[in-house]
Amino acid sequence: MRSRRIEGDDDSNWLLTFTDMITFLMAFFVIMYATQIFAPDKSEEMTGSIRATMGRDLQSQVLEKNEEHEVLSELQGYISESGLGNLLKITQTKMGIELTATGELAFASASDRLTKEGVELIKQVAEKLSEKQYKVAVEGHTDDVPINSDRFPSNWELSTARATTVVKEFIRLGFAPDRLAASGYADTRPVVDVFDATEKSVARAKNRRVVLVITR
C-alpha cells in the first residue's frame, strides 16, 4: 500500500497575515506621529484616508489568505483521493503554494510527453484555479544522469521541454497564457544529494521533478 505524505497544513501559516497586520499598524502610527508634528491641520484628513486604505488592504489580505487555504485544502484532498501521496508533495510558502510531482509521475524517462497521471494532475490544478487570479510558474528539474540525443542534447533541453509541455497543457485547458511561465534547471537544483545517498536510484527519482509554483 502506497504511503501518503501531504504537507502544507502548517498551524504557523497564520503568522504570515499577523506579521503583515503588525507592519501596517507600525507604519500607521509612524505616519500619524509625523503628521501631528509637521502638519497638524492636515492630520485629520490624512488619518481618515490612511484608515480607509489600511482597512481595504487588511481585508483584501485576509480574503486572499482564506482563498489560498481553500485552494490548498482542495489540492490536498485530490492528492489524498488519488493515492499519489508518495509522488506528490504540496507545501505552503510565504509566496504561495508549491506542488511537486516527483519520479515519473508526469513524464517517462527521457521524455517530454505527459503521462496520463500528469495530464490529470494539470487538469485538477487548472480546474481549482480557473475562477481565481493565480499565476503558475512551472519548473522542470532532471537528475544528474547525462542525456545526449538529437531531441535533447543535454538535461537543459529536457527540463525546459517538460516545463513548456506543462504550460501548453494548461493553455489547452483554457488557462490564460499571461498567467503562466516555464523554466528548466536541468540537474542544478537537486533536493537530495546523490553522492551521499545510500539508494542513489531513489535519490535521483526525487530530483526528477516538475514543480508548480502557484502565486498571486
Report pLDDT for 68: 86
| C-beta of residue 177 within 8 angstroms of C-beta of residue 112 | no
Report pLDDT for 27: 72
* pLDDT tens per residue, range 27-52: 767 766 665 555 555 556 655 665 66
Report pLDDT for 16: 55
Report pLDDT for 26: 76
Report pLDDT for 161: 98
Residue 166, CA distances (Å) to 5, 66, 151, 204 in order: 23, 27, 18, 21
Count the Cβ atoms, other than its own, within 10 Å of residue 52: 10
Nearest-angstrom CA–CA distance, 187 and 175: 28
Largest pairwise CA distance in the chain: 74
Report pLDDT for 56: 54
Specify the residue for cell string 509554483: 213
Residues (pLDDT < 50) of the chain are: 1-9
